[in-house]
Structure 1
């Protein structure tokens, strides 16, 4: 059974596909899970941890780290081409892979397609938490003109998974670091009422799946994670 679950389908383990499917069904059948998870962070007036040091630090960190890594990657690539060297093994294939990792999942799928068109209201906007909009379950198109589904910050933070897959040494360590950062950013969005738990989970799986598929497409081999 374990061997079957560990089989790769489009370079993604079967257990990851199943996990995403099962969790998606659970969020649709039991939508109140989202309300229950967000409720402890609402004090009857506001999401009281919004604006806290932890929340602001990790919310703003994405806006700094991701552009820095992107510019740094392009800079190293240009340097390698000019000097005909190979710092960090950053060749054309690696550059294309990184740019696709950053643009396809967080950019095209999460932000341009889901956030901009799904309409789901954020926790802070719904009536249950002092707002004036109606709560709708994950994966259900909404007319509330919100931008909650799915989480853009979460998808951007988890995009560092793509960088971790490129590691030739201590890959498990770098992957753990990337996932831990994504979790911290996700918590920051959750406690601020910016996103529901299902928004965060969905963004994680989208990034994980797309990143691993791109790895297979670009490098013509399976990743080991």
Structure 2
């Protein structure tokens, strides 16, 4: 976690001091004659992109299934250790979900490469540290898809110790590869990818220390908490359905009374 923060500081200073790095790298993949990023419209590379985007969700699916099963059947034992389930789900929701896609992309204002003047767009180029660009939503900083891909570090950290470094290295390469595609497509700058990776990995490591550190880990207590939450959800759902049923019954009674009244009036005509 501290290594990610240190790398983040170094990267922030580097891209702030030399913001043209982003433009020069993006220029490598821009066709001046066609005024576009040509690989962005190729079927094959977009297919690779779609497949890559599904991989994090496939990795997350077992944890989500276990949690939903526990919610539906609160008394059943969780099929995966509760700390692992919460670690995977929480790091994904907070990392790629809230931090990258909701907090940063929707508020930072940095235009994408294919929207700036240097690449046939209309917006002014903005360095990563200036969040006041022309973009109003789904902006360039940071890359949501790269953030999702770098999240693969989370399941990699659960690999057996003897293969964990290889698994984590493969996850970082996967994240960098997905991020590279976004740069080649002209949809993100290099700094968008770098910060997406550093922020996501820092969040993953933070949750790992919080939930899976041997000194803090307590699966029994965590499963009881999940079970209590599930029971509370059942009670709240039951109360809501009972209230809805009562409201529908009242509405039905009112409609029946109104219908009988109309029938009497029509009979008197």
Instruction: Using structure 1 for the length normalisation, give the TM-score.
Output: 0.84
Q: Name the larger-Rg structure.
A: 2
Aligned residues: 207
CA distance in 1, matches of 2:51, 2:198: 21
What are the residue-to-residue correspondences of 1:69-80 with 2, within 5 Å? Answer: 69-76=59-66, 78=69
1:185 to 156, 178, 190: 178
Judge conservation of contact 1:98–1:163 (CA < 8 Å) in 2: yes
Kindly indicate whether residue 20 of structure 2 is the aligned counterpart of residue 32 of structure 1.
yes
Q: 5 Å matches for 1:1-225?
A: 12-14=1-3, 16-44=4-32, 45-53=35-43, 55-76=45-66, 78=69, 86=79, 90-145=80-135, 147-169=139-161, 170-221=163-214
CA deviation after TM superposition for structure 1 residue 154, in Å = 0.3
CA contact (8 A) 1:110 1:151 kept: yes
Q: CA deviation at 1:53?
A: 4.9
Cα distance change, pair 25–130 in 1 and its aligned pair in 2 (3 A): same
The Cα of 1:221 is off from its aligned counterpart by 4.5
Secondary structure of the equivalent of 2:40?
coil
Equivalent residue for 1:4? none
Going from structure 1 to structure 2, the CA distance change for 1:83 and 1:100 (only over 3 Å counts) comes to: closer
Deviation at 1:41, TM superposition (A): 0.2
C-alpha contact (below 8 Å) 1:120/1:145 kept by paired residues: yes
C-alpha separation between the residues in 2 aligned to 1:26 and 1:188? 22
Q: Secondary structure at the match of 2:107?
A: helix
Q: 1:205 to 1:54 in 2, by over 3 A?
A: farther
Residues 126, 133 of structure 1: 8 Å contact kept? yes
Counterpart contact for 2:111–2:125, Cα < 8 Å? yes
Shift of 1:82: 8.2
CA–CA separation in structure 2 for the residues paired with 1:129 and 1:51: 16
After superposition, the Cα gap between the structure-2 partners of 1:137 and 1:85, relative to the gap in structure 1 and judged at 3 Å, is closer
Shift of 1:174: 1.4
Q: CA RMSD in A?
A: 2.3
8 Å contact kept, 1:58–1:188:
no
5+ residue gaps in structure 1?
1-11
Secondary structure of 1:173's partner?
A: helix
Distance of aligned partners of 1:221 and 1:138 in 2 relative to their CA distance in 1, 3 Å threshold: farther
Aligned equivalents of 2:10 and 2:89: distance in 1? Answer: 30
Q: Higher RCO, 1 or 2 (CA under 8 Å, sep at least 6)?
A: 1
